[in-house]
Amino acid sequence: METLSNLSNALTKTVESGDQSVVRVEARRRLPASGIVWSPDGVIVTAHHIVKRDDDIRVGLPDGKVVPAKLMGRDRTTDLAVLRAEAVGLITPAWADGASLRVGHLVLALGRPGKRVMATLGIVSALDENWRTPVGGQIDRYLQTDVVMYPGFSGGLLLNAEGKGLGLNTSALLRGVSMSIPYPTLQRVVEALLAHGRVRRGYLGVGGQPVRLPGELTKELDQETGILLVSVDPDSPAGRGGLVLGDTIITFNNKPIRHLDDLLELLSEEVVGVEVPLQILRGGQIQELMIVVGERD
């Protein structure tokens, strides 16, 4: 009995530790959702899918005040949006180093769809390396929990047993699955949205599919597949750089391209506007082209 009582009291303290860092976000007609304090001067990170309007947004603070907020940017591919509320002196969560996180660890999901914080208890049900969302966003780590995502919990905070933040909860990345966007992804995307209002991504203007390379090249390159181009927009960076239908991309910026996801991962913000080398297979011969990477609309 004492063990259960101690656990109960510990969970209460954990919720209290995150209470002041979770806000209410009123940005849609139906039930409000939740957000996380990102900086003391009013920057709030929340879920993109709950921000249904670009203006007339309000944020309910832990002290009960409701203040106006401005949308600073959004990225649907990672389901993140950033607001700036007219508030100062807010309390940010202490963030955990997620490297020690394991399947089975206890976690608490906090939300504030109403005036007071709400909580639900669960465990980490699945972990994996970085993954790409169904709409193309790059997440630094797959983090799935079994917490019940009550209405309005999206955009709220996931805590570990020590009361430190692990990520932002969302029910929109995978249907029927409770996901948490880990802190490293939050940091990267929030910085991009504050700087540009969007996450900049590279663009070539090609469509492709994996194709097996000839046997001799497989041995020479230590690479079994490349990307066969099945479409090339002539007015795109690829078209202007000399890529044509039927070329097979082998490397991009000196990195092997075996699958389409390899190419998408390398088309990051860092290469936008940069001239990079591409190795291609054309007519049975390896050639190198220089392509200036564009920015995806």
* DSSP character string of 187-255: HHHHHHHHHHSS---EE--EEEEEEEPPHHHHHHHT--EEEEEEEE-TTSHHHHHT--TT-EEEEETTE
pLDDT for res 159: 97
Band (pLDDT 50/70/90 cuts) for residue 136 is confident
Provide the CATH number for the domain formed by 1-199 in this structure: 2.40.10.120
Give 256's strand partners.
Answer: 251
**Exposed, middle or buried: residue 119 (CB in 10 Å: 0-12, 13-18, 19+)?**
buried
Judge whether 90 and 82 are in contact, CB under 8 Å.
Answer: no
Measured from the Cβ of residue 274, the count of other Cβ atoms closer than 10 Å reads 11
Query: Which is nearest to 207 in space by CA: 263, 268, 145?
Result: 263
Structure tokens at 208: 């492709």
Band (pLDDT 50/70/90 cuts) for residue 119 is very high
HSE at residue 170, side-chain half, CA atoms within 13 A, is 28
What is the radius of gyration, based on Cα positions, of the chain?
Answer: 23
Average pLDDT over residues 116-128: 96
Name the catalytic one among 17, 21, 48, 49.
Answer: 49
Residue 252 has pLDDT above 80, yes or no: yes
pLDDT for res 216: 85
pLDDT for res 297: 77
Is 154 known to be catalytic? yes
Query: Which is nearest to 93 in space by CA: 197, 200, 168?
Result: 168
What letter does residue 95 receive in the DSSP assignment? B
Average pLDDT over residues 68-88: 97
158: which residues sit within 8 A by CB, 6+ positions away?
107, 108, 109, 110, 143, 145, 147, 165, 166, 167, 168, 169, 180
Residue 48 has pLDDT above 80, yes or no: yes
Per residue in 146-201, pLDDT (tens digit) is 999 999 999 999 999 999 999 999 999 998 899 999 999 999 999 999 999 998 88
The better pLDDT of the pair 296, 70 is held by 70
State the virtual CA torsion across 233, 235, 236, 240 in degrees, nearest 10.
Answer: 110
Q: Give 67-74's long-range contacts (Cβ < 8 A, gap of 24+).
A: 69/25, 69/42, 69/44, 72/43, 72/193, 72/194, 72/197, 73/192, 73/193, 73/194, 73/196, 73/197, 73/198, 74/48, 74/193, 74/198
Structure tokens at 46: 């929340």
Residue 241 has pLDDT above 90, yes or no: yes
CA distance 168 to 185: 10
DSSP-assigned states of every residue in 37-57: E-STTSEEEEEGGG---SSSE
Query: Over the chain, what is the mean pLDDT?
Result: 94
Residue 125 has pLDDT above 90, yes or no: yes
Average pLDDT over residues 88-107: 94
Provide the CATH number for the domain formed by 202-295 in this structure: 2.30.42.10
Domain map (residue ranges) of the chain: 1-199, 202-295
CA distance 155 to 45: 7
Name the catalytic one among 21, 48, 75, 79.
Answer: 79
Band (pLDDT 50/70/90 cuts) for residue 24 is very high
Q: Which of 60-64, 94-98, 177-181, 217-221 has the weakest average pLDDT?
A: 217-221
The better pLDDT of the pair 216, 235 is held by 235
Average pLDDT over residues 244-252: 95
Name the catalytic one among 17, 21, 154, 178.
Answer: 154
- Whole-prediction pTM value? 0.85
Query: Which is nearest to 168 in space by CA: 179, 160, 102, 176?
Result: 179
The better pLDDT of the pair 260, 79 is held by 79
Residue 1 has pLDDT above 80, yes or no: no
Q: Which of 30-34, 162-166, 212-216 has the weakest average pLDDT?
A: 212-216
CA distance 113 to 141: 27
Residue 277 has pLDDT above 90, yes or no: yes
